[in-house]
Homo-oligomer: A and B are copies of this chain.
Amino acid sequence: MPLPIELWFDFASSYSYLAAERAPAVCAASGITLAYRPFLLGPIFTAELGIKDSPFNVQKARGRHMWRDVERLCEKHSLPWKKPSAFPRPSLFAARLACAAERQPWLGAFVRGIYRANFGDDRDIGQPEVVAAVLEGLGVEAGPLLDAAGTPEVKTLLRANTEAAQAAGLFGAPSLLVGGELFFGQDRLEDAVAWAQR
């Protein structure tokens, strides 16, 4: 039995879009279970880098390369791409909703839907109505989930994920955890799969 792979992601993260789109098929092809672990990069960037923004905004040259690189990678993997008019988008609400939906069979489709809204359609995923539209596109009644996203239990879940991410040594997204082994970046998806099969 291969080990499961945990995909740790922030909905604001551009490279996480590629991971969320690529991981399900790559894992399924190898019989690997994929677990979704939403967390927030903000507190980690503040702790590790002392910044309150994306490193891709603070580091100009790195940021210019990232936008071009993600555009090229979307073309390579045949994914829709539209450079977001705001970056990073507020991901807190959608992340809470992903926590509220952690046992739902449509969680993976929701995660991909939010990423496509952000990076394929340039929609503001910080707006509850955008999140609701993604849910409704999956045939899921949005109201009860939007309510659940605001409960203390769900807020605690997301906070615990972010703390667990920091404790596991995560410093960016996407990150892949396989039996405690950390792989950073969507580039490492195939290496993580090989590790899960060792």
Q: A interface, how many residues as a size bin?
A: 20 to 34
> Given contacts A59-B48, A59-B49, A60-B48, is CB(A65)–CB(B187) below 8 Å?
no
Chain A contact residues: helix, strand, loop or mixed: helix
- How far, in Å, is A173 (CB) from chain B's closest CB? 13
Q: How many copies does the complex hold?
A: 2
In the bound complex, do residue B69 and residue A171 qualify as a contact, i.e. CB atoms below 8 Å apart? no
In the bound complex, do residue A191 and residue B48 qualify as a contact, i.e. CB atoms below 8 Å apart? no
Is A87's beta carbon under 8 Å from chain B?
no
Q: What are 25 pairs between A and B in contact, CB < 8 Å?
A: A48-B59, A48-B60, A48-B61, A48-B62, A49-B59, A61-B169, A61-B170, A61-B171, A62-B171, A62-B172, A64-B169, A65-B169, A65-B171, A65-B182, A65-B184, A68-B181, A68-B182, A69-B183, A69-B184, A69-B188, A72-B191, A73-B191, A76-B191, A185-B187, A187-B187
* Residues on A facing B (Cβ under 8 Å): 48-49, 59-62, 64-65, 68-69, 72-73, 76, 169-172, 181-185, 187-188, 191
